[in-house]
Chain A
């Protein structure tokens, strides 16, 4: 009897955890599918299935452009940080040299920066390069947080690769560049998928720099566009549109995360616990 009671309590806890995690997103989805006239009546279960809000988001603002901007920025950030990350991780993970420990510690310290601490310096730099209100300003500024992260995680992975492989390659006269591209790359791709995905999510979600360094609607990324959706007045926010936009940008990320969930967990723990 006591055993069944314990089991019942356990499954109740499980149910609470699932409900708590999923409900806000579920509620955003059912709100987004309501016709605007019904939005202000609270429904706990899906009653409507209309796409008006989804059409309105694209019609009332350049949301397609915003999505394109976000994709462009995130993909370029991932490509650049993976390239810089792999080469640096090879040096930091496989070669013994003086100052390596200090360098790793400095990189870790940078990943703990509050982003606002580089804001005014970055602003000056972006004006200097003439990149204000240009998507390149975001690619550049996102390096502040993706580089330390990718370098740190890839170094952890790189260290775990067998030493014999590299020695054999050196015996055959392979240069470090060949070792990275031909010997380590094939072994490293799961790590690259994980790191790339996490960097992509970071760039996709970034808000402070995107809000500060872009000015016009057509240069905005998705998070800024959603945050700045306004209605006729302050008190008439178009909640239907906001929820539809939120669902549009969240579904791809949730799908990616669920597909790669095992890899993501290993990437997060490599970045934090093993560090």
Chain B
């Protein structure tokens, strides 16, 4: 017994020793920069010289100047970015879940050529985001794009549409590209869940002659609900921090600007590190709130073993 606990103790020591390099790197590249960002949010730091700045309290967030409210929370552009981000996340994740479920159900059926479909579905996932943004902006090009050409040949539109420049269409374009790019991820996660289901209840349903659509809603969906919830939250967190697709597809257009694009513009383009960091901090808080609300509503647990 004595020897056993001695052994356990050396194992625990070894464990911390093995964890140390990873923890040091993680603190250096994630913990510390995050704390600095939050701190910068309360200062008037400028990118040109990050060594001298002064504490300004909540001035970056909200303050009264010359009888007017100024700061992030009084900036209509910020609120527009918040609205754009939430709208984008809600619509694209919903579409990706529905389409991903359809693709997963197809891949879960056994039919000749299934391997080809699975390989084809993986392609959008493998294409780098920047490349998919460029590929689509070429296809959506207002003068020479194939999508306008196809729509005009089919007689669906009478004149070419400015997909990425038109304020009413820009967000639609972003959502379209994001759905194309990330539906495979959703489909693969849902497929993995479908393949873990026991086959006996399906056989029972088949014997009883129950319609497949009814089986899906009454049997399949409740069984894979936990997996769907996890897949949705992973995708939603990704969607809330979206940067590269919007930056490349519609650059700094106000119609599609997300919270990440807004924060980086303040931080790098306008050199306002204090103000930009405040925006980053608000994005961080928004993501945190979304996780907590979602986990409370969906009763998702991550820590079960």
Contacts and interface: CB of A to CB of B under 8 A. Distances in A.
A116 B32 contact: no
Given A13-B106, A114-B283, A250-B131, A95 B192 contact: no
Interface residues of B, number: 99
Interface string A221-260: 0111011000000000001001100100110011011100
B129 A121 contact: no
B202 interface: no
Interface string A107-148: 110101111111111111101000000000000110110011
A120 B284 CA distance: 13
Given A25-B135, A273-B192, A114 B260 contact: yes
A176 interface: yes
B29 A141 contact: yes
A129 B19 CA distance: 24
A159 B304 CA distance: 13
A227 to B, nearest CB: 5
A206 to B, nearest CB: 9
B273 interface: yes
A196 interface: no
A228 B256 CA distance: 20
Given A21-B124, A118-B33, A246 B19 contact: no
B50 A273 contact: no
B178 interface: no
Contact of A176 (B18, B26, B123): B18
B131 A249 contact: yes
B106 A17 contact: yes
Interface in B14-59: 14-16, 18-19, 21-23, 25-26, 28-37, 40, 45, 47, 50
B134 interface: yes
Contacts of A42: 144-146, 149
B252 to A, nearest CB: 13
A105 B303 CA distance: 7
A140 B33 CA distance: 12
Given A87-B18, A176-B18, A269-B188, A116 B29 contact: no
A44 B144 contact: no
B170 interface: no
Interface string B235-256: 0010011011001100000000
A105 B120 CA distance: 35
Given A88-B19, A253-B128, A208 B243 contact: yes
A205 interface: yes
A108 B302 contact: yes
A74 to B, nearest CB: 12
A120 B36 CA distance: 7
Contacts of A63: none
Contacts of A223: 128-131, 244
A20, A39, A253, A273, most chain B CB atoms within 10 A: A273
B268 interface: yes
A152 to B, nearest CB: 10
A55 interface: no
Contact of B126 (A44, A90, A110, A250): A250
Contact of B32 (A125, A127, A226, A256): A125
A181 to B, nearest CB: 12
Task: Rank and list the top 5 A-B pairs by shortest CB-CB distance, nearest first.
Answer: A121-B33, A121-B36, A114-B241, A91-B15, A118-B33
